[in-house]
Amino acid sequence: MALLDQIGRFFDPISILIVFGGALAIAVARSAAGDVARAFAALGPMVRNDPDADAAAATRAANAIEAVAQVKGIACADRVQTAGRFLRRAAFQLSNASSPESFALWARTEIEERRRRHAGAIGFWNAVADAAPAMGMIGTITGLVGMFAQMDDPARIGPPMAIALLTTLYGIALSSVIAGPIAARLERLSEVELAWQRRVLDRFEMLARAEFTEVRPILRVAI
């Protein structure tokens, strides 16, 4: 029971509302539509995903798609079963590409859209990390003002003093222990994911160029 009492001293609803509520409100105001939902949706994959394992699995799947495309043509690329949604979309686009340029255009657009979505989610958590210390300082000043207003009654100094101290603690914790590490982790995952996705799309583009380069001379002879 004594331990619970000690822990309870670090819990103050008003301080939590000032810091967490204020920082989240600022981050929402600074974020584009959809970024907030993506930021929270990314928390699950952030914990579960293994970027190195994902890259290795993508390489194996790309190898299988390339083997099929070299034997049967890129039109059969989407027949290879892959676990990842990105690879399934890429294989579908490859099999339906009308030219190497059309696939290259889709690939550039896809990577840029993914980079933008990742940046939006990362930016939200960076905004939380940036705003948290400021909200902690606002709570500290508010608590100090309340303390000075109660100087004539020492028994009433405790609550505003708790707000002053705990908002500083919450601001530091939210910034350095929660939001900051989340943003850094998501940024690292984004870099690794986009890197292997670019490599896969570059390989698929080479397949498309090779196939169309081989087909065109045959068509000219037939004509």
Q: What is the pLDDT of residues 56-110, one digit of tens each?
A: 888 888 899 889 988 888 888 888 888 788 989 999 999 999 999 999 999 999 9
Exposed (0-12), middle (13-18) or buried (19+): which is 113, by Cβ within 10 Å? exposed
Spatial separation of the C-alpha atoms in residues 83 and 46, rounded to whole Å:
18
Does 4 reside within a domain? no
Taking 90 as the threshold, does the pLDDT of residue 167 lie above it? yes
Q: Which domain holds residue 42?
A: 14-222
Does 8 reside within a domain? no
What Å distances lie between residue 60 and 69, 75, 139, 166, 196, CA to CA? 14, 19, 53, 51, 12
| Helix axes of 180-222 and 51-72: crossing angle, nearest 10 degrees | 10
Does 55 reside within a domain? yes
Dihedral of CA 95/101/102/107: which sign? positive
Does 3 reside within a domain? no
Does 181 reside within a domain? yes
Q: DSSP letters along 84-131, please?
A: -HHHHHHHHHHHT-SSHHHHHHHHHHHHHHHHHHHHHHHHHHHHHHHH
Q: What is the pLDDT of residues 124-162, one digit of tens each?
A: 999 999 999 999 999 999 888 888 888 877 778 888 888
What does pTM read for this prediction? 0.84
Q: Out of 19-23, 198-202, 210-214, pick the least confident.
A: 210-214
- Which pLDDT band holds residue 8 (cuts at 50, 70, 90)? low
Q: How many domains does the chain have?
A: 1
Q: Out of 172-176, 193-197, 216-220, pick the least confident.
A: 216-220
pLDDT at 101: 94
Does 9 reside within a domain? no
Does 76 reside within a domain? yes
Does 6 reside within a domain? no
Planar angle of CA 122, 43, 57, nearest 5 degrees: 95
Taking 80 as the threshold, does the pLDDT of residue 216 lie above it? no
